[in-house]
Amino acid sequence: MELIFGVITVVVALVAAGVGYWLARWRMQQRISLHTQQQNAETQRVLDATRREIEQLTQQRAQLERECETLKREASLQAREEAHKIIEQAEQEAREKRAEILRLEQRLLQREELLEHRFELLEQKEHALMEREALLTKKQGELRELMHQRRFELERISGMSAEQARELLLKEIRDEIEHEAAILARQIEEDARRDAERRAREVILDTVQRCVVDHVAQNTITVIHLPSEDIKGRIIGREGRNIRHFEHITGVDVIIDDTPEAVVLSSFEPIRREIARITMLNLINDGRIHPARIEEEYERAKNEVERRIWQTGEEAVLQVGLTGVHPEIVRTLGKLRYRTSYAQNVLDHSIEVAMLAGLLGAELKLDTRVVKRAALFHDIGKALENTTEGPHALIGMEFLRRYGESEIVCNAVGAHHHDIEPASLEAHVVIIADSISAARPGARRESLQQYLRRMQELERIALSFDGVEKVYAIQAGREVRVLVKPNEVDDLRAHQLARDIAHKIQSELEYPGQVKVTVVREVRAHHIAH
């Protein structure tokens, strides 16, 4: 029984295992079939969507083809219209060109006719000129005959031949020219003597300003006005102690005379005189005047003047536009503020010469920085003390060379009074600018009113002669340009007129130097071309 039960159990187990296997296989087949259906359905959906997109693309392509055809037709129509317009425009331009050519041909024909008419007129004028020339030749022959008869008559009346009369006339002209040459030589000699005297005065004045001596001149004093007469006693001090100490420490002579409320400071050294002036003013304003206070105010005034010198030198360099100037040159340049030459401030004169030289250098295409540098420093030798001897131009040249200035600048400074030969165009420009600054109206002693009066007198004298049309006094009155009427004054009369004007100026006016009279006779020929 147990055996049967075991067999049955085994059989049942086998049957159960077979049933489970086939059940599992069936489930697996069901799953595979379901998955396959899902994949088929998805594939079908994709295929359907692809077909729909292909159909849409096909429709779009057809639509685009239709639009392209439409655009081609429109472009073809537009191109035909534009071509038609271009053809019409070209035809219009061709018609206008043909019309213009026809007008030009008509104008050429008219000009040819006009030229033929003018040619005929020229032939007539040429014929008339030939007739006039023949008439003039005949009249010239008659005139020569008349002149021959007149000469014969003059020789008969005067008892001299033509050669004798010519010699007599030449002798008179020679005597007159020799007389004028003698007058001119005397004038040149006088001008040279006056120039030598002027140069001597200038040299003496420059030397005096650089050298302290016991002489007093009008240009070397400073007058200080006092608030009251009591201040004079304080300035003098007990037994003259204050004034002696003031003169000793400042190196300036103090002159106290009967002039009311005034004290005079005298010194050839302008910087020292300026320090003394500031010291005296500070002492007067303070009221305490004694040797210790004098020393304090002197040191303060000395520092103030030194500060002004530096400031003035820097302002001058900045005004001219220079850079890289040695400090000692700037300081020495500032001292020129207290120097004068013929009542002309030397620093203002140097700045003016620098500006003029810069303008001249720019016109000549030179380096304006070098030209202005040399022009600004050209009188720097006047500011140096009496430790050196010689002309101020050469002293300034050596001073600038010692502080590293270029050789062109040094040569221009040394040559501006022709103490040495100028070696560059820059040196010549400095010489010219210096002469212009010194010779301009009002720069030195002569006033502007006197200058204008002399110019007007020169023009008045020249205008008083017959045949004079215009007169111009130029070069500060050194030359008079006279324009004459060519119909009234011939070439020979122009020479005589220049001589007469020069004689009248010489007899009626007083002037320095020489006045050159230039007579200009201009003949103009006019003709109108039709």
Phi first, then psi: give them for residue 511, nearest 5 degrees: -155, 150
In this structure, whether the domain defined by 339-439 belongs to CATH 3.40.50.300 is answered with: no
Task: Report how far residue 489's alpha carbon sits from residue 485's, in angstroms, rounded to the nearest whole number.
Answer: 6
Q: Which residue has the tokens 């040159």?
A: 329
Contacts by 115-122, CB closer than 8 A, 24 or more apart: none
pTM, 2 dp: 0.46
What is 222-307's CATH topology?
Ribosomal Protein S8; Chain: A, domain 1 (3.30.1370)
Task: Report how far residue 388's alpha carbon sits from residue 391's, in angstroms, rounded to the nearest whole number.
Answer: 10
Cα–Cα nearest to 501, from 521, 482, 476, 473: 482
Q: Where are the domains of the chain?
A: 160-209, 222-307, 339-439, 448-521
Task: Report how far residue 149's alpha carbon sits from residue 172's, in angstroms, rounded to the nearest whole number.
Answer: 26
| pLDDT tens sequence for the chain (530 residues) | 667 777 788 777 787 777 777 887 788 878 887 888 888 888 888 888 888 888 888 888 888 888 888 888 888 788 888 888 888 888 888 888 888 888 888 888 888 888 888 888 888 888 888 888 888 888 888 888 877 777 777 666 766 666 766 777 677 777 777 777 777 777 777 777 777 666 656 654 554 454 333 333 345 567 777 777 777 777 777 778 878 888 888 888 888 777 777 778 877 778 888 888 888 888 888 778 888 888 888 888 888 888 888 888 898 889 888 888 888 988 888 888 888 776 678 888 888 888 888 888 888 888 889 999 989 998 888 887 555 667 888 888 988 888 888 999 999 998 888 888 888 888 888 888 888 777 665 555 545 566 678 888 888 898 999 889 889 888 767 788 999 988 888 887 888 888 889 888 888 877 656 788 899 888 776 667 76
Give the CATH class of 448-521: alpha beta
In 3-state terms, what secondary structure has residue 406? coil
Cα–Cα nearest to 342, from 444, 425, 206, 267: 444
Task: Report how far residue 237's alpha carbon sits from residue 291's, in angstroms, rounded to the nearest whole number.
Answer: 10
Radius of gyration of the chain (CA): 56
